[in-house]
Structure 1
Amino acid sequence: MRVDRVDIPVYDISLLRNIWEGREKKYKNKQKKEHERVQKSALAKINQQWQYRIACKKLKSNEVEVLQHYLTRTALTEIQPHQDIPNTDENPIIEGIKFIFELDGDKWIELPDNLLDMTYLREWHIRRTKICKLPEWIVQFPDLCVLDIPQNGIDKLPVEIGQLTKLRVLKVNYNRLSSIPPELGECENLERLELTGNYLEQLPFELSNLKKVTHLDIAENQFASIPICALRMTSLQLLDMSINMLTDLPEDMDRLEELESLFVHKNNMSYLPKCLVNITTLKMIVVSGDTLICWPSGLKENPAIKFIKLYDNMADEIMEGDDEILETRQDHHKEFMKTYIDTVKDRETAPTYTTKVSFSCCL
C-alpha cells in the first residue's frame, strides 16, 4: 500500500504578526506622503479661489469686500518670519501732520527712547517686530485713538491701557496673548477690537461695557463658546469667531440686535440656533458646510441673508434632496477642472509634485 507524503507548512505566529505590522506601516507611510503631496499641491488653493468666486456671484460689492478680507486674512498664519525692510536712516517713521508713529522690522526689540518725547501722537502702528510687551508709560499718550500692533511677540497688555479713554481702534492680531486685562473695559469709546491669531480661551466680563464696539474679530483662538461680554456689546455689527473650538451658538444670540455679519467657519458646529432668524439686521453668515447638518429654514428662505457654506473637504457626499447645493457643487467641479486643465496646458513643464494620470470628464 502506497502512502503519499504531504508537507504542511507551520508558521510562527510572531512571524505573521511582523509581516502584518510591516504592511500596515508601509500603508500609513503611503497615506502620510499622499497627504503631504496634497498640501503642497496648488489644487487646494485653486479650489478655495473657486469657492470664493461662486459665493461672490450673489453678493453686493461691499459684501464681497468683507468676505474677501475673511478668506484672505487667515493666510497671515502661514507667513514666514519677516525680513527687515531696509531703512537708510534706521529711524522709526513719524508722520507729524497726522500724528502717526510707525515701526516695522524684526530688528526692533523695544520701543525707541525718544518716543516719550512725542506724547501728542494719536496713532501707533507697530508691525513684525520682536517687541514682547507694551510699556506702562503708554498712559502718557492721552490722545491715542488707534493702537495697531499686529505680528509681534506681545504676550501681555498693560493694565494702564484702560486709561486711554480716547482709544477707538485696537488691533493686536497674531501675537501671543493668552489673556486680556479687565481694565480694557474702561475704554468706552472703543469701536473696533481685533484679537485674531492669539491663544485666548475667554474674555473678561468687564468688556461688556464696550457698548460702542461695532467690529469684534477674535478668530483663530481657542474659544469653546462665544464670550458673554460679546453678547452684551449692543452695537456689534460684525462678529468673527472662525477657526475656534465652538460646538454651538448660544440661544440668546438675538441679543445682538444690530448684527450684520457672522463668521463661524472652521469650528465644530453641527447646527445653528433658531434665534438667528430673529436678528432682522443680519445680512451674511459664513459657516463650514462639512460639519453643519441643521439650520433654521428661515436663514435660507430670507433673500436678504447671504447664507454661505464653505467646504474644506469637497469629496463629502451631498444629502439627497438638496438641489441647490448639488447644482452649485456641480458647477464648482466643472469650473474647477476646466481652470486647472487650462493652467496645466499653459505651463512649460509639469509640476514636480504631480503624478501623470489619464482621465476623462464631461464639462
Structure 2
Amino acid sequence: MSKAVRKTIEEAKETGNPELDLQDKQITSLEDIPGLLSMENITRLTLTHNKLISVPPAIANLINLEILNLFNNWLEELPTTISSLNKLRILNVGMNRLDALPRGFGSFPELEVLDITYNNISEETLPGNFFMLESLRALYMGDNDFEIISSDIKNFKNLQILVLRDNDLVMLPKEVGELNRLRELHIQGNRLEVIPPEVGSLDLLGTKSCLRLENNPWVPMIADQLLLGPSHVMDMLRNESYKFMYQRHLQTGSQPPPKNLEAKNRKISRKSLNPNFVK
C-alpha cells in the first residue's frame, strides 16, 4: 500500500469523512488496504483508474455506501455480495473486463444509475433478476455484446436514459415503447435494420431529450428519413405505411448483418492480462 493511500485512509478515519477518493493509486487489491472494508461510515468510494482484478465479498461490510465507482480497472468478476449494499444509488463498473454480472445482481433496492459500459457482457450473462431493478433512472450498457434486449425491460418504469450504443443489437423490443419516462435513447452503432413502431410514442425530441440512431444498417425507409433528422424518423414510426413495412420485415425473417468481430477483438477488455503487470 502506497503512502498516499495510507494517508488518505488515516485522514478519513480521523475526520470521519464519508467520501473516500482513491482514484489512480495503482491499487491492485482492496484487501491490501487495512481497515478499508470495515469503514461502515463511508457513503462514497471512488476507485477509478486502478488495477483491481476483483472486488472482495467483504465489500458488503460498507453498509452505508451510496456511490461506488470502479471505472477503468481490470475487473473480471464481481462478488454476489455486492447486491446486498442496500443503500447503493450509483454503481459504475464501466471500462473493465466483465463477462457477466453476478447472480442476484438485480436485488439492489435503491439503485438509480448503473454503468456497465465497455465490458464483454451479453444477454446470456445477465442474472435472472436483472430486470427487477425498477428504481433505475439511467442505464449505460454501451460497448458490450448484446444482440437482443429482453422484453422485461418494460419493468424499468422510472428509466430516463437508456444507452445501448456499439453493441450487436439486431432487434429492439417493442416494450421500449412502454418506458414513458424515457428521454434519452442511444442505439447507434448496432446491427439494427428496423425500429418498433411503439418507440414513436416516446418523448425523445424535447430540448432535454436525445435520440441517437446513426451507424446502423437501416432499411431504406428509415435511412432516408434519418438524413432529414431524428424527428422525421419519429414521425414515420407513427404512420401506417411504416407499421405495415415493419410487420413484413419481421415476417420475412431475413438474416441480420454480420458482426464486426475484428473491431470487437481489438477491444482492451478482450485482451488477456499480463501477470507481470499485476504486482
Equivalent of residue 319 in structure 1, options 179, 195, 220? 220
Q: 1:303 to 1:187 in 2, by over 3 A?
A: closer
1:52-93 superposed Cα distances (whole Å, 9 cap, x missing partner): xxxxxxxxxxxxxxxxxxxxxxxxxxxxxxxxxxxxxxxxxx
Are 2:138 and 2:159, in contact at CA under 8 Å, matched by a contact in 1? yes
**2:56 corresponds to 1:158:** yes
| SS of equivalent residue, structure 2 residue 186 | strand
Tell me how far 1:110 sits from its aligned partner.
7.8
Tell me how far 1:166 sits from its aligned partner.
0.5
Equivalent of residue 217 in structure 1, options 103, 112, 115? 115
Q: 1:123 to 1:326 in 2, by over 3 A?
A: same
Which residue identity lines up with residue 208 of structure 1 in the other structure?
G
Equivalent of residue 143 in structure 1, options 41, 44, 62? 41
| SS of equivalent residue, structure 1 residue 205 | coil
Distance 1:242 1:126 in 2: 25
Q: Pick the structure with greater CA Rg.
A: 1
Distance 1:249 1:291 in 2: 13
Distance 1:323 1:109 in 2: 59
Tell me how far 1:289 sits from its aligned partner.
5.2
**2:80 corresponds to 1:186:** no
Flag structure 2 segments of 5+ consecutive residues without an equivalent.
Answer: 231-279
Decide which moves more: 269-278 or 210-219.
Answer: 269-278
Are 2:24 and 2:48, in contact at CA under 8 Å, matched by a contact in 1? yes
1:256-291 superposed Cα distances (whole Å, 9 cap, x missing partner): 111111000000112100111122222221012552
Residue number in structure 2 paired with 1:129: 25
Which residue identity lines up with residue 183 of structure 1 in the other structure?
T
Tell me how far 1:147 sits from its aligned partner.
0.5
Aligned residues: 221
Are 2:168 and 2:190, in contact at CA under 8 Å, matched by a contact in 1? no
Tell me how far 1:178 sits from its aligned partner.
0.6
| SS of equivalent residue, structure 1 residue 252 | helix
1:217-265 superposed Cα distances (whole Å, 9 cap, x missing partner): 0010000114444311110011110000000100211111111110000
Tell me how far 1:169 sits from its aligned partner.
0.1
Equivalent of residue 182 in structure 2, options 274, 277, 282? 282
Q: 1:109 to 1:217 in 2, by over 3 A?
A: farther
Q: 1:285 to 1:291 in 2, by over 3 A?
A: same
Tell me how far 1:188 sits from its aligned partner.
0.1
| SS of equivalent residue, structure 1 residue 199 | coil
| SS of equivalent residue, structure 1 residue 111 | helix
Equivalent of residue 308 in structure 1, options 211, 219, 225? 211
Question: How does the TM-score come out when normalised to structure 1?
Answer: 0.55
Equivalent of residue 241 in structure 1, options 141, 154, 171? 141
Residue number in structure 2 paired with 1:261: 161
Are 2:99 and 2:119, in contact at CA under 8 Å, matched by a contact in 1? yes
Equivalent of residue 150 in structure 2, options 234, 250, 263? 250
Are 2:112 and 2:138, in contact at CA under 8 Å, matched by a contact in 1? yes
Which residue identity lines up with residue 282 of structure 1 in the other structure?
L
Distance 2:140 2:89 in 1: 15
Distance 2:20 2:222 in 1: 54
Tell me how far 1:114 sits from its aligned partner.
7.7
Distance 2:119 2:10 in 1: 33
Q: 1:319 to 1:179 in 2, by over 3 A?
A: same
Equivalent of residue 98 in structure 2, options 190, 200, 223? 200
Aligned residue runs from structure 1 range 28-43, under 5 A: none
Residue number in structure 2 paired with 1:111: 5
Superposed CA RMSD in Å reads 2.6
Aligned residue runs from structure 1 range 43-62, under 5 A: none
Tell me how far 1:318 sits from its aligned partner.
6.7
**2:189 corresponds to 1:292:** no
Q: Report 1 or 2 for greater relative contact order, CA contacts < 8 Å, sequence distance ≥ 6.
A: 2
| SS of equivalent residue, structure 2 residue 139 | strand
1:113-167 superposed Cα distances (whole Å, 9 cap, x missing partner): 7835743231111122211011363233111000011111111212211011110
Question: How does the TM-score come out when normalised to structure 2?
Answer: 0.71
Q: 1:220 to 1:143 in 2, by over 3 A?
A: same
| SS of equivalent residue, structure 2 residue 169 | coil
| SS of equivalent residue, structure 1 residue 216 | strand
Decide which moves more: 232-241 or 220-229.
Answer: 220-229
Which residue identity lines up with residue 111 of structure 1 in the other structure?
V
1:188-225 superposed Cα distances (whole Å, 9 cap, x missing partner): 00000000011111112233221100000001000011
Are 2:114 and 2:139, in contact at CA under 8 Å, matched by a contact in 1? yes
Distance 2:211 2:81 in 1: 37
